[in-house]
Amino acid sequence: LAFFALLLAVSGCSRAPFTNRLQLNLVPDPLMVSLGEATYGEMLGQVSVERNTEDSRVLKRVGRRISRVARKPSYRWRYALIDDDDTINAWCLPGGKIAFYSGILPVLKNEAGMSFVMGHEVGHAMAHHSAERLSQQTAVLGGLTAMYLYLDKKSEMPDEARNMLMAALGIGLEVGILLPFSRAHEREADVAGLMFMS
């Protein structure tokens, strides 16, 4: 099991663009792209999307310019402006599916501000952060499951103690591994955002 896990980890290692950081990516890009496409349609179906407004046209114009620089034609880049003045946020799904909330527009102030945030979101897509996050979560879940099964079969630890140990390990892995990678993803997307924006 340990050999298989090591082999899987080594075969799934790649280098992140922009920063050359070693990353674990076990999920193939075509699978992530189709997942992003399906999720994007579902998420936008639950909100009000601005169409044919000046703000939505500017968003699409900036998005096209930034994604053209990213040089990833296999992604079908999409840009949506969600009509929600209370939310100051933007996000990107795999395959270049990007959404901005209208509440972020006053913070951005102009196309330059929008270009940085758009570049940041495009950077997430280009660096395959969603696939890396899914790979990390899969590895953590697999490790926790293996540990639980081992303790269940090979240990005489009481159920309550085993459950407390597993909960502590889960929290430790979240804080010690997953959260730092999340911060690294944000820094990496900032670097990409500046490059694409310029």
Tens digit of pLDDT for each residue in 58-78? 999 999 999 888 887 778 899
Q: Are 185 and 16 in contact (CB under 8 A)?
A: no
Phi, psi for residue 141 in degrees, rounded to 5 = -60, -40
Provide the residue type at 1 as one letter: L
Cα dihedral 3/4/7/13 (nearest 10): -120
Strands 90-93 and 49-50: unpaired
- In the 8-state DSSP scheme, what is residue 22? E
Q: Are 112 and 161 in contact (CB under 8 A)?
A: no
Question: What average pLDDT does the structure give for the chain?
Answer: 79
- In the 8-state DSSP scheme, what is residue 19? T
Phi, psi for residue 112 in degrees, rounded to 5 = -65, -45
Q: Mean pLDDT lowest for which of 47-51, 78-82, 152-156?
A: 152-156
Q: Is residue 31 pLDDT above 50, yes or no?
A: yes
| Those residues with Cβ within 8 angstroms of residue 40's Cβ, 6 or more apart along the chain or in another chain | 78, 80, 93, 97, 99
Q: Is residue 79 pLDDT above 80, yes or no?
A: yes
d(CA 124, CA 103): 21
Cα dihedral 57/18/23/140 (nearest 10): -40
Provide the residue type at 121 as one letter: E
| Those residues with Cβ within 8 angstroms of residue 1's Cβ, 6 or more apart along the chain or in another chain | 146
17 or 92, higher pLDDT: 92
29 or 37, higher pLDDT: 37
| 167-176 CB burial, b ≥16 within 10 A, e <16 | eebeeebeee
pTM over 0.75: no
Q: Are 93 and 39 in contact (CB under 8 A)?
A: yes
170 or 50, higher pLDDT: 50
**Using 50, 70 and 90 to split pLDDT, how confident is the model at 98?**
very high
Residue 35's H or E segment, with its range, is: helix 29-44
Match 């790649």 to its residue by tokens.
14
